């Protein structure tokens, strides 16, 4: 049976962020994830987690100025110091919140920077981050993201992510496999997850087109959930989708597609 975590950046967004923890617990979730905790005191988030019996399974490293269009820093050779400072801040939050893994967004390729420099910068930053996270007992994840939603995003395919992790050479670094992004970029969902299962530490979902609830689009989630059980995926699945008509109204997909 899949284990679903509510992505509080996307779900229950009819509530203020700190009120989404209660809403997720009332809806039956036992775990949550979100993009970034840094706008709130760690103690306040921890109190919400503990008060509602929730486990935090994932958040991201700082990714630059999100409101200004940044989607990560890790491939940008001009922002290495900023990236590495963010690693330390993320570890402080992760330690306080008890989260076991942090996701690193590669970011959009800066104009005029060649592929070799982008990869070299990304690999070096990942080696640094993996080393710092390992000392803290944490996993590091990297996530391929489709270039339709985020044009220019550097890391956009599963094979590319695995190749980069091979070069990084860290035993605590893994792929975060987002089914929605993978469907848009490459398809072959079941075969790809099975092939790379040992390298995948976390999965996220949304349907396509529209990035709405499972069952709203072209992806056969009933098959995929059963497939993940068959091949032995034991991690969490983050529900990172846009509710089509309110979060609570759309949660029926869980029972419908897993029974």
Domain that holds residue 229: 58-244
Helix (H) or strand (E) holding 43: helix 42-51
Q: What percent of the chain has pLDDT over 90?
A: 99
pLDDT of residue 177 exceeding 90: yes
Task: Report if residue 36 sits inside a domain.
Answer: no
DSSP code for 204: E
- Give domain status of residue 180, yes or no: yes
226 within a domain of the structure (yes/no): yes
Domain CATH number, residue 111: 3.20.20.150
Helix axes 115-135 and 158-168, enclosed angle (nearest 10): 60
The distance in angstroms from the start CA to the end CA of the chain is 9
Q: How many CB atoms lie within 10 A of CB 15?
A: 15
189 domain-assigned: yes
Q: How far apart are CA 154 and CA 248, in angstroms?
A: 34
pLDDT (tens digit, 9 = 90+) per residue, 15-68? Answer: 999 999 999 999 999 999 999 999 999 999 999 999 999 999 999 999 999 999
Q: Is the pLDDT of residue 259 over 90?
A: no
For residue 240, give the nearest of 176, 151, 194 by alpha carbon.
176
- Average pLDDT score over residue span 176-180: 98
CA distance linking residue 6 with residue 17, whole number of Å: 13
pLDDT in the model for residue 1: 81
In whole angstroms, give the CA distance from residue 87 to residue 116. Answer: 23
- pLDDT tens, 233-248? 999 999 999 999 999 9
Indicate which residues carry an active-site annotation: 143, 240
Q: How far apart are CA 78 and CA 16, in angstroms?
A: 35
Q: Residue 239 phi/psi, 5° resolution?
A: -90, 85
Instruction: Note if the bond before 118 is cis, omega within 30 degrees.
Output: no
Residue 142 lies in a domain: yes
Q: Is residue 102 part of a domain?
A: yes
Average pLDDT over residues 88-100: 98
- Domain total for the chain? 1
């Amino acid at each position: 049976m899949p284990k679903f975590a509510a992505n509080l950046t996307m779900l229950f967004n009819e509530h203020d962020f700190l009120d989404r923890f209660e809403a997720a617990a009332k809806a039956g979730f036992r775990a949550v994830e979100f993009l970034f905790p840094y706008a709130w005191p760690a103690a306040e988030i921890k109190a919400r987690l503990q008060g509602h019996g929730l486990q935090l399974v994932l958040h991201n490293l700082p990714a630059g100025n999100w409101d200004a269009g940044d989607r990560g820093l890790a491939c940008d050779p001009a922002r290495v110091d900023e990236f590495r400072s963010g690693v330390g801040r993320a570890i402080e939050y992760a330690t306080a919140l008890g989260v076991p893994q942090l996701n690193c967004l590669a970011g959009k390729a800066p104009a005029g920077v060649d592929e070799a420099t982008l990869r070299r910068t990304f690999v070096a930053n990942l080696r640094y981050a993996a080393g710092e996270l390992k000392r803290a007992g944490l996993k590091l994840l990297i996530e391929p993201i489709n270039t339709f939603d985020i044009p220019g995003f550097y890391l956009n395919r599963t094979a590319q992510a695995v190749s980069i992790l091979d070069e990084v050479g860290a035993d605590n670094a893994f792929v975060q496999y987002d089914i929605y992004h993978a469907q848009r970029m490459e398809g072959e969902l079941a075969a790809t997850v099975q092939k790379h299962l040992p390298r995948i530490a976390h999965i996220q979902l949304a349907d396509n087109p529209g990035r709405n609830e499972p069952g709203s689009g072209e992806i056969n989630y009933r098959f995929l959930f059963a497939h993940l059980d068959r091949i032995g995926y034991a991690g969490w699945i983050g529900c990172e989708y846009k509710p089509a008509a309110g979060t609570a109204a759309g949660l029926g997909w869980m029972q419908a597609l897993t029974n």
